[in-house]
Amino acid sequence: MQQRRAIAIFAAGHAFTDLNQGALPALLPFFVASYHFTYAQAAGLTFAATIASSVVQPLFGSLADRVPAAWLIPAGVFGAGLGMSLLGLMPSYPMMLLVLIISGLGVAAFHPEAARGMHAASGRLKATSMSVFSMGGSAGFAVGPLLATALMEAFGTRGTIALLAPALFITLVILTQQRRWPKGALAQAHAHSHAPAAPAAGGELRTDDWRRFAILAAALMFRSIFFFGFNIFLPLYWVNVLGRSAAEGGVALSVYLGLGLVGVLAGGRLADRYGMRALMLWSNLLVCPFVLLFLAMGQLLPAVALLVVLGLVVAAPGSTLVVMGQNYLPNHVGVASGVTIGLSVSAGGAVAPLLGRLADTYGLQPALIGLGLLPILAAALIWRLPRESRAAPQPAAAEA
């Protein structure tokens, strides 16, 4: 029971943390309209929020591997919400960048420790169990645009201050639960995740495979650039190409990200049954044709239909990529989590200003076409990895 509660806490914290990341793309059309930002300036806000997370997150992961750091979970959730809540109150563009860096640091602090604890509590079906954690993040990404759009419509750009309320709520919940379980699931997660990696089938201690992990990280960078670029441009595409309102653009983003709840759960089950490599490979290969069809339609209803398919396909490997990284680095689960969730997954935010400049120069549709080609490069890298379900058995974990 305590293990289940711990898993619920990890997933809920993930939802409330990623709510802020999901809210930002939906805020951009309103800030563009209010402050007359260019696409490059709008993308620069995403860059500020993600660069701190992508660079610092592996460091938090290394810290989590060395010493128990459960305090990073509530501190990260609160920091992520605090920075985003102050965004609409800032008097200048540099100050907006500063508070988004604070939000990014909160994201960086939360993910490695929470993912490491989830790894320890998840049992033998790693991909399925980690999909619960990823579903929390997908839920946050999906609710974020809806909440942000409602706040912008009701209160204008200053409405971002209301984003502090959910962050404060879940922070208090996490702190309360941690005090109730001093020797419970969270403590057990720390003990098991600091234990040596489980022996392989032949009885030898498993070692870290940094070469394969580097290939996976490179593939995730291409996936990340597509993920963040598409999130940034989708609301703007809805407004400037399809001729809909900014509020409708936010709803479209929420629908797209909300489908990740279904996609990531289905992906976890498919990965446990058919292999994580196969899921990663096919999901990346299918993205490009669906993006091209999405852009070719140019009409609302076909665009919505293809958006549904894209949401499922893109989200499917969400939990798999984390588990693959943890399996390649069984002795450094915190670092693996920090890199797969942080440096690689958030790397797309680092090139957001470049994507915005391309959109300013050539238009949104050419920029989106270029983004759609990147998952093919990710698939080419995934092809070089072995079928892990046969070649690299997963480490055993403590059962609940």
The answer to whether residue 400 sits within a structural domain is: no
What pLDDT shows up at residue 186? 46
Q: What domain range is 224 assigned to? A: 2-391
What pLDDT shows up at residue 38? 85
- Structurally, the chain folds into a number of domains equal to 1
What pLDDT shows up at residue 73? 87
The answer to whether residue 397 sits within a structural domain is: no
The answer to whether residue 32 sits within a structural domain is: yes
The answer to whether residue 396 sits within a structural domain is: no
Half-sphere exposure of 301 (CA within 13 A, CB side): 0
- pLDDT tens digits, 300-309: 888 889 899 9
What pLDDT shows up at residue 201? 41
- pLDDT tens digits, 358-399: 888 888 888 889 888 999 999 999 999 887 644 444 443 333
Q: Give strand pairing partners of 205.
A: 199
What pLDDT shows up at residue 360? 86
Task: Find tokens 């609301």 and name the residue.
Answer: 235
What pLDDT shows up at residue 392? 42
What pLDDT shows up at residue 380? 93
The answer to whether residue 399 sits within a structural domain is: no
Backbone angles phi, psi at 195, to 5 degrees: -75, 160
Cα 102-41-251 angle, rounded to 5 deg: 80
Mean pLDDT of the chain: 80
CA distance 376 to 220: 12
- Judged by DSSP in three states, 101 sits in helix
CA distance 207 to 153: 53
* Tokens found for residue 303: 């665009």
DSSP 306-348: HHHHHHHHHHTTHHHHHHHHHHH-TT-HHHHHHIIIIIITTHH
- pLDDT tens per residue across all 400 residues of the chain: 556 777 778 888 889 998 998 898 889 889 988 888 888 888 888 888 877 777 777 777 677 667 667 788 899 999 999 999 999 999 999 999 999 999 989 988 888 778 777 766 655 655 556 667 777 877 888 788 889 989 999 999 999 999 999 999 999 998 887 766 544 444 444 444 444 444 444 333 468 889 999 999 889 889 888 988 888 888 888 988 888 888 888 888 888 888 877 887 788 778 878 888 888 899 999 999 999 998 887 788 888 898 999 988 888 887 777 788 888 888 887 778 777 766 665 667 677 778 888 888 888 888 889 888 999 999 999 999 887 644 444 443 333 3
The answer to whether residue 398 sits within a structural domain is: no
What pLDDT shows up at residue 98? 95
**Length of the chain in terms of residues written:** 400
* CATH classification of the domain holding 74: 1.20.1250.20
Report which of 134, 141, 137, 112 is spatially closest to residue 333, judged by C-alpha positions. Answer: 112
CA distance 117 to 94: 36
SS3 content of the chain, % helix, strand, coil (to 5): 80, 0, 15
Measured N-to-C along each axis, helices 246-258 and 2-35 cross at an angle, to the nearest 10 degrees, of: 160
CA distance 87 to 97: 8
The answer to whether residue 253 sits within a structural domain is: yes
CA distance 300 to 295: 11
The answer to whether residue 151 sits within a structural domain is: yes
